[in-house]
Structure 1
Amino acid sequence: MKTIFVSGTAGSGKSLLTSKLLDYYARNGAFAAILNLDPGVDNMPYTCDIDVRDYVDYVSIMQQYELGPNGAMVMANDLIASKIDEIQNDVNKVNPDYLIVDTPGQIELFAYRSSGRFIVDNISTEEKTNIFLFDGSLITSPVNFVSIALLATSIRLRLNLPTINVLTKTDLIGDKLRNILQWSTNLKTLENAIGNETDGDTYTLTTNILRGLNLGGFAQGLIPISNLTGEGFGNLEGALSRILNLGEEVEG
C-alpha cells in the first residue's frame, strides 16, 4: 500500500484532483481508496472509503465548546490525531494499492499544527508522497508565483515528504500558462519578470526569496494538469511512480 497526500491552498482543486486520481487508477487496473481528512467539508466529488467525519463531529464541537468555526476546526483536527489507530485499522481493512489522502481545505490547520505531521508520520504504509497544488488562477503574476512557491517549500519542510508540484486549472489561464511553465523551469526568466513588475523593496524581497528557493532545489518545474479534460494525468502518474514504485508505472 502506497499513500498519496493531496495538499494546497483552499480552492486549488484538491478534492477534484483526488477524485480524478481515483478514477485514473481504477481505469488502469489499480485499487485506490480515499481517506478524507477534512472534518468540515460538506460536499465532495467522490465517495470516501475512510472519512474522519465518522470519528469527529465538527458541528457538535462548535456547539459543545462554544467555539467559532476556526476554533472548532483546530480542535477537530487535533482530535483526529487522537483517533489515528482507529483510522489506521479502517485503512488496513480496505487495504488499497494506493491510499489517496484529501487534506483539509485550510492548509495551515493540517501542515503547521503538530497534529498534521503526527497523522502523516503515523499512517503506516510502504511509501508516501505529497502532491502540492499550485492554483493556476493565483499565480498568473510572478510575485504571486514566488509566494506560492515559498508556501510549497514550507509545506514540504513541515510534512517531510517527497513532493510533486502540480499546476491546476490550466484550462482557465489561457496564454498565462506558457509564462508560468517558463517561470517554473528558468529562474532567470522569472527574475526578469519580477523586475518588469516590481521595484524597490518588493523586488529585493522577492528575488532574495527566489534565490533561496533555487538553492533549495525548487527549480524542478511544475506538472500542468486539467481536472476538466484529464490532460497531464499521465505525467503526474509517472512522477508518482518514480517515487512510490521505483519508476514502474501503472499499466493501462
Structure 2
Amino acid sequence: LAADLLAMKAGEVSEVMETFRTGYFLIDTPGQMELFTFRESSRVVIDAFGREDSALVYLNDPALVKTASGMISSVLLSATALFRHVIPFVNVLSKSDLLSPEELETIVKWSLDPLELYDALMQDAATPKTLLDVEFFKSMETIGVYRKLLPVSSEASTGFEDVYSQVQLTFEGGDDLRPD
C-alpha cells in the first residue's frame, strides 16, 4: 500500500523536505482515511516528520455533511482520526464550491453551534438511527470533539488562508511566520 511505502521512505522524504525553506508542508496522505488512520504506518510517518510539529487536517466530504445525520457521521470519523493520533487537529469542509450558498451556510452554522445541529437532528423522523445520532451527538459534545469546519475550495481558491491561520494559531500562537 502507498501508506506503507511512504512509511518506509519517510526518512528520505523528510530529508528532502528539509531542503525547502518553508514554515509548513501540507501532505495529502495516500488512499482513503482508513488506509492511513488505522495502519501503523501512519504513526511511523507522523513520527518521522516530527510529531511535535505535526497536525491533522481532516477533510469532511460536502455530500456527507449536507444532512444532520451525515454531519454526525463525519464528526465521528474525524474524531476517530483525532483519537488515534492525538495531535493538533483542523477540521476542513473540502470542495465547498459544490454546495449551494444556503447549504454551506447551514453546515457552517451546525459546526459553530451544536444546538443548531441538535435542532436539525430533532426535525428528522424518530427512527433508531436518529436516536443513535442524538446519543453520538451528546457524547461528542461531552468529550469535546465538536469542531468548527473551515470551508475550502481549490476550484474557487477559497478558505486556504483560514487553514493557514488555524495552523498559525496552533503552532505560533497566531503570529505569522511569513516575512511579507
Q: TM-score, normalised by structure 2?
A: 0.88
Return the letter of the residue paired with 1:136. Answer: P
| Larger Cα-atom Rg | 1
User: In structure 2, what is the equivalent of residue 240 of structure 1?
Assistant: 167
> Which segments of 5 or more consecutive residues in structure 2 lack a partner in the other structure?
none
Residue in structure 1 matching 2:53, options 120, 123, 127: 127
Structure in which a larger fraction of residues adopt helix: 2
User: In structure 2, what is the equivalent of residue 146 of structure 1?
Assistant: 72
> Is the 2:108–2:148 contact (alpha carbons within 8 Å) kept by the matching residues of 1?
yes
Q: CA RMSD in A?
A: 2.0
User: In structure 2, what is the equivalent of residue 217 of structure 1?
Assistant: 144
Relative distance call for 1:220 and 1:106 in structure 2 (3 A) is closer
> Is the 1:165–1:223 contact (alpha carbons within 8 Å) kept by the matching residues of 2?
yes
| Residue 101 in structure 1 maps to residue 27 in structure 2 | yes
Mean CA deviation greater in 203-212 or 227-236: 227-236
Deviation of 1:152 after TM superposition, in Å, equals: 0.3
Local SS of the residue matching 1:99: coil
Aligned residues: 178
Quote the Cα distance in structure 2 between the aligned partners of 1:126 and 1:211.
Answer: 31
Deviation of 1:179 after TM superposition, in Å, equals: 1.3
Q: TM-score, normalised by structure 1?
A: 0.64
Same amino acid, percent of matched pairs: 27
Deviation of 1:224 after TM superposition, in Å, equals: 1.6
User: In structure 1, what is the equivalent of residue 90 of structure 2?
Assistant: 164
> Is the 1:111–1:158 contact (alpha carbons within 8 Å) kept by the matching residues of 2?
yes
Quote the Cα distance in structure 1 between the aligned partners of 2:162 and 2:3.
Answer: 32
Relative distance call for 1:224 and 1:251 in structure 2 (3 A) is farther
Structure in which a larger fraction of residues adopt strand: 1
Quote the Cα distance in structure 2 between the aligned partners of 1:86 and 1:169.
Answer: 32
Quote the Cα distance in structure 1 between the aligned partners of 2:174 and 2:37.
Answer: 28
